[in-house]
């Protein structure tokens, strides 16, 4: 009977997502966590397999997700091993009617528990559901290498990093017109970083934790993964270009406006209006191409 749940689209989807994240090098050891919201229709074929456990506190009350179901990765679990033992590395939980506690229904065999960043996931899940009219179902956190690297050399602000990523690859503006949310450095797994992340999720579907990692929200696992993948590719291009001495030319503001018009999107104004995002080196590189 357990095999039936393991073969479900949502367990197999979580296995694929965590395996892909590991192969990318974004989930070293037990780094990263993923949550997927399920609806009752998803679980209907598996009702006989659900075994409600004792109620456990979330750590705070989140009324907007009361009664909802989430498949989530476990604390201390390695992304690279989820494919080997999904019933140990993954768990299905149901939030209580008051949004203050949860019960495990399946998985986490051997006494495992949800990720220590559970409250960050659930608060962000609540926000993204509200701002997307219920379409958003995934929160994905990982340690995307080049996005982390950029936070060491660029001003860690949303307009600056957004504009840099838009200029890194053409597709970045199309997928991230609202820009990237950038938080100050904070200890992970705390209520404070969860609250700040959820606040940033009001406006952004991609959040950067400087010197640490990134969180993405999406309607599907593929959508959230693709958002990180696109931003990380742009960051990789930027890292290489900056390592080669900087820009000789780039995607201009006029180019960005033309791209936005083509796709009928509205770019983040604070990023679009920047004259320069890279400080003196950026100004020098641009001036060397177009000397006064």
The 10s digit of each residue's pLDDT in 135-194 is 999 999 999 999 999 999 999 999 999 999 999 999 999 999 999 999 999 998 888 999
Task: Establish whether 88 is a catalytic residue.
Answer: no
Determine, yes or no, domain membership for 261. Answer: yes
Determine, yes or no, domain membership for 125. Answer: no
Determine, yes or no, domain membership for 122. Answer: no
- Enclosing domain of residue 266: 133-292
Q: What is the DSSP letter of 61?
A: -
| Residue 37 φ then ψ, to 5° | -80, 130
Q: Alpha helices of the chain — where are they, by DSSP H?
A: 2-6, 9-24, 40-43, 79-82, 86-89, 118-131, 145-153, 158-168, 170-175, 191-201, 221-243, 253-263, 269-272, 279-289
Same domain assignment for residues 64 and 151: no
**Read out DSSP for 274-292?**
-S-SSHHHHHHHHHHHS--
CATH code for the domain of 54: 3.40.225.10
Whether the predicted pLDDT of 1 surpasses 80:
no
What's the distance, CA 189 to chain centroid? 15
Cα distance between residue 20 and residue 79, in whole Å = 9
Set 41, 85, 117, 223: catalytic member: 117
Which residues make Cβ contacts (< 8 Å) with residue 260, sequence separation at least 6? 173, 177, 266, 267
Q: Name residue 38's beta-bridge partners.
A: 69
State the pLDDT at residue 213: 97
Determine, yes or no, domain membership for 110. Answer: yes
Determine, yes or no, domain membership for 126. Answer: no
The 10s digit of each residue's pLDDT in 85-142 is 999 999 999 999 999 999 999 999 999 999 999 999 999 999 999 999 999 999 999 9
Whether the predicted pLDDT of 287 surpasses 80:
no
Task: Indicate the SS3 state at residue 100.
Answer: coil
Same domain assignment for residues 32 and 156: no
What's the pTM value of the predicted model, to 2 decimals? 0.93
Same domain assignment for residues 208 and 247: yes
Token readout for 5 is 């749940």
Same domain assignment for residues 155 and 275: yes
State the pLDDT at residue 2: 52
Same domain assignment for residues 83 and 205: no
Total tally of structural domains belonging to the chain: 2
Same domain assignment for residues 225 and 180: yes
Determine, yes or no, domain membership for 184. Answer: yes
């Amino acid at each position: 009977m357990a095999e039936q749940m393991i073969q479900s689209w949502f367990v197999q989807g979580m296995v694929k997502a965590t395996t892909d994240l590991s192969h990318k090098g974004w989930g070293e050891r037990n780094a990263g966590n993923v949550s997927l919201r399920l609806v009752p229709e998803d679980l209907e074929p598996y009702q006989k397999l659900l075994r409600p456990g004792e109620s456990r506190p979330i750590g705070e009350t989140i009324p907007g997700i009361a009664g909802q179901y989430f498949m989530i990765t476990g604390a201390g679990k390695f992304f690279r091993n989820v494919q080997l033992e999904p019933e140990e590395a993954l768990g299905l939980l149901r939030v209580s009617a008051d949004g203050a506690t949860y019960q495990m229904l399946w998985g986490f065999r051997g006494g495992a528990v949800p990720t220590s960043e559970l409250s960050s996931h659930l608060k962000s899940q609540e926000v993204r559901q509200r701002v997307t009219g219920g379409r958003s179902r995934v929160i994905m956190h990982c340690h995307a290498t080049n996005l982390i690297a950029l936070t060491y050399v660029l001003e860690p602000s949303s307009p600056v990093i957004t504009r840099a990523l838009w200029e890194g690859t053409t597709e970045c503006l199309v997928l991230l017109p609202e820009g990237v949310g950038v938080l100050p450095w904070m200890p992970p797994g705390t209520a404070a970083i969860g609250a700040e992340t959820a606040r940033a999720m009001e406006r952004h579907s991609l959040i950067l934790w400087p010197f640490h990692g990134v969180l993405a929200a999406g309607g599907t696992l593929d959508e959230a993964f693709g958002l990180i993948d696109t931003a990380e590719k742009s960051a990789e291009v930027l890292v290489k270009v900056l390592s080669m001495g900087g820009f000789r030319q780039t995607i201009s503001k006029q180019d960005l406006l033309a791209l936005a018009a083509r796709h009928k999107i509205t770019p983040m104004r604070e990023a679009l209006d920047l004259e320069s995002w890279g400080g003196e080196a950026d100004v020098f590189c641009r001036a060397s191409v177009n000397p006064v």
